Structure 1
Amino acid sequence: MFFQIIGSSHDDHDESLKSSYFNLPPLDVSIAFPQATPASIFPPCASDYYHFDDLLTPEEQAIRMKVRQCMEKEVAPIMAEYWEKAKFPFHIIPKLGALHIAGGTIKGYGCPGLSITANAVAMAEVARVDASCSTFILVHSSLAMLTIAFCGSEVQKQKYLPSLAQLGTIACWALTEPDYGSDASALKTTAMKVEGGWILEGQKRWIGNSTFADVLVIFARNTSTNQINGFIVKKDAPGLTATKIENKIGLRIVQNGDILLKQVFVADEDSLASTT
């Protein structure tokens, strides 16, 4: 009781020392820092110091302008808000899908088949406005989709790539683990062959898009060959959980997650055979 009384008196004393304006809300940035440009407004690209335009084809210039206009109009105004909340703005996914840049250089299967330059320019325009947004697309497109395109069977490409290219479904790519980071030679997650498929057991960490991905490309060590195999795992598979990593100070819009795999069954048809 004595300590409670002392503590209460101490708190009251501290309150009496605070200024009358202690709890006022912060000034609007336009008043506090009038010369600053709000994050939602991007100045026009008025110069081309290195004559970069001369190196692009008309098609590549058109892609750059299309992505730039979308990012400045649809994404820039809301990025600061979502960065503060460390949440992902799901409502912009259809707008990003309409740009038709997911899948990048992949040809066929509903993918854009861009040149390497066009793909790089498109991603640079996304990153110019927000690096978290470009990370979301790169994980989905340049990691997960390319793995399926390079290592998947014809059936797998036809099954998964068209929807991924439209951002109708979202993918993540799970290599990194808690103990050894992205050192593929040290993976502890295992894949044990059983009748009709595989059983995955292990843990992944820092996996972007994992908390809301429809398709998870997961790498595990084959217990029979000791080689690293890739697998396509669907969301909500029994034994699969993905939880958000909180309190990041960078790329806060990217939803990095911890993935736990407890006796997760993957059918043979979803094994990426070419990864062995």
Structure 2
Amino acid sequence: MSTTTAAPAELRPTDFLGIDHLLDDEERMIRDTVRKFVAEQVTPHVGDWFEEGTIPRDLPARIGKLGLLGMHLSGYGCAGTSATAYGLACLELEAGDSGVRSLVSVQGSLAMYAIWRWGSEEQKQQWLPRMAAGEAIGCFGLTEPDSGSDPGSMRTRARRDGDDWVLNGQKMWITNGSIADVAVVWAATDEGVRGFAVPTDTPGFSAPEIHKKLSLRASITSELVLDDVRLPDSARLPEATSLRGPLSCLNEARFGIVFGAAGAARACFEAALDYAKTRIQFDQPIASFQLVQAKLANMAVEVNRATLLALHLGRMKDEGRLRPEHVSMGKLANVNAALEVARTARQVLGANGITLEYPVIRHMNNLESVVTYEGTADIHQLVIGGALTGIQAFR
């Protein structure tokens, strides 16, 4: 029987389980760099961005200077970090705002990853260095007005016309759409689903912006309209020959959401904890009341559990052991937990919880989109259920 003389870990309200101890020096450095960027350049302004329904046009370039765009990819100006380091960056970005994390993950894990994984060498050289620097913006066109959870039912078509392809169709709910320089568009063809890197100045391409959103307002969301968009065959992603192409990209982006949701939850918990210790009622801080302490304890449990789950999946991905079903469990668990934390924090803040002076209602509204996009909670439940039973319920 062995004994140890090490002192017990210090109890820190914002890292109750000492998760920081599980990170290496490089991971802490990346996390702290992104946290500092968010504290200085996002948090002071994001309430105004949310209220105005916009995001600064130079924000991608500022993020690019940090090396965060496509940071988990190798070559072509990308940083080549570990998956866990990328996840920690997503966590800190979404602690600022889901829209900012969405900008980064759509750029890096959807548009850039699609070109990096499925594109030609010429396409990689043409787009990836500028995208990594934030000098060119990408978007990812898969979802359609009548095709969400079932991408195989897409109506966007690409047909051969001599040596060219002609694309017609419509995509919906596309982050970065109206500010993009290149759109990765997925279309049905007589040869199966194919992807295309579409320069957005191509005749017939347009991206009208979607307005009147009450969620992800600090993010650009658009339609993509393709009206006889003519492209050379060199625009086709040559290695993508089925739905496996776009689904692999979505799995990359969902991995970032697993971490990001933990960041949103942490931000709401920290706001509630600070508020509860300074809000005086009945001549004492509301943090002294049992009901409030119960809420804080439950929030702390969910934040720590979500962060540990994200970190575990990050380690699995870096070891090559991560499956899409694992990512589904992470997204389902962490986004649902973050929603519960946000709603509880809103109650702790009372009426102040509905103002943009505090981050809680903004995160709460954003998470209502996060729980739906890149695979709804229902679909991820069915993915997990299928893995458990061997029976695919939605096919």
Tell me the TM-score normalized by structure 1.
0.81
The yes-or-no answer on 1:177 pairing with 2:169 is: no
* 1:237-265 alpha-carbon deviations (Å, 9 max, x no partner): 10011101110110012111111101001
Equivalent residue in structure 1 for 2:56, among 82, 86, 89: 89
Name the aligned partner's letter for residue 68 of structure 2: I
The alpha carbon displacement at 1:155 in A equals 1.7
Q: Which structure has more helix as a fraction of its residues?
A: 2
- What is the alpha-carbon distance in structure 2 between the residues aligned to residue 156 and residue 95 of structure 1? 24
Specify the alignment match of 1:126 in structure 2. 93
Does residue 75 (structure 1) correspond to residue 51 (structure 2)? The answer is: no
Which residue of 1 is the match for residue 117 of structure 2?
Answer: 150
Deviation at 1:176?
Answer: 0.4
- Contact 2:55 / 2:219 at 8 angstroms: preserved in 1? yes
Structure 2 counterpart of 1:128, one-letter code: A
Deviations, residues 17-71 of structure 1 (Å, cap 9, x unaligned):
xxxxxxxxxxxxxxxxxxxxxxxxxxxx974222222221111110001111011
Q: Percent identity?
A: 37
**Distance (Å, rounded) in 2 between the aligned partners of 1:88 and 1:98:** 17
Residue type at the aligned position of 1:237: T
Contact 1:175 1:204 in 2 (8 A): yes
Which of residues 218, 222, 233 is equivalent to 1:253?
Answer: 218
What amino acid sits opposite 2:122 in the alignment?
A: V
Q: 2:132 aligns with which of 157, 165, 172?
A: 165
C-alpha distance in 2 between matches for 1:183 and 1:143: 18
For 1:66-108, what per-residue CA distance to the aligned partner results, in whole angstroms no more than 9, with x for missing partners? 1110110011111111100101211323221111011121111
Per residue, is there more strand in 1 or in 2? 1
Query: Contact 1:104–1:142 (CA<8 Å) still a contact in 2?
Result: no
Checking the alignment, whether the CA contact within 8 Å between 2:62 and 2:134 is kept in structure 1 is: no
Cross-structure match for 2:208: 243
Q: Deviations over 1:132-163 (max 9, x none)?
A: 11111111111111111110112211221111
* Cα displacement string for residues 149-203 of structure 1 (whole angstroms, at most 9, x for unaligned residues): 1101122112211111111110000000011224221010000012232000011
Of residues 26, 30, 33, the one that matches 1:63 is: 30
Distance 1:119 1:158 in 2: 22
TM-score (norm 2): 0.57
Contact 1:75 1:92 in 2 (8 A): no
Aligned length: 230
State whether structure 2 residue 185 is matched by structure 1 residue 218. yes
Q: Does the 8 A contact of 1:67 with 1:126 survive in 2?
A: yes
Runs of 4+, deviation exceeding 6 Å: none
Equivalent residue for 2:176? 209
Give distance in 2, aligned partners of 1:110 and 1:236. 24
Which secondary structure state, in structure 2, belongs to the residue aligned with residue 177 of structure 1? coil
* Distance across 1 between alignment mates of 2:42 and 2:135: 19
Q: CA deviation at 1:124?
A: 0.5
1:215 deviates by 0.7
SS at match of 1:230: strand
- State the Cα distance separating 1:122 from its structure 2 match: 0.5
Of stretches 154-163 and 167-176 in structure 1, the one that deviates more from structure 2 is: 154-163
Residue of structure 2 in register with 1:12 after alignment:
none
Q: Which runs of 5+ in 2 are unaligned?
A: 1-11, 242-395
SS of 1:144's partner is: helix
Q: Once superposed, what is the RMSD of the aligned Cα atoms? A: 1.3
AA in 2 matched with 1:138:
S
Q: Is the 8 A contact 1:74 1:92 kept in 2?
A: no
Show the counterpart of 1:198: 165
What is the aligned partner in structure 2 of residue 4 from structure 1? Answer: none
My pick for the range that moved more, 83-92 or 183-192, is: 83-92
Q: Which runs of 5+ in 1 are unaligned?
A: 1-44
Q: Which amino acid aligns with 1:230?
A: G
How big is each residue's C-alpha offset from its partner over 1:216-240, in whole Å with a ceiling of 9 and x where there is no partner? 0000011x22x11000001121001
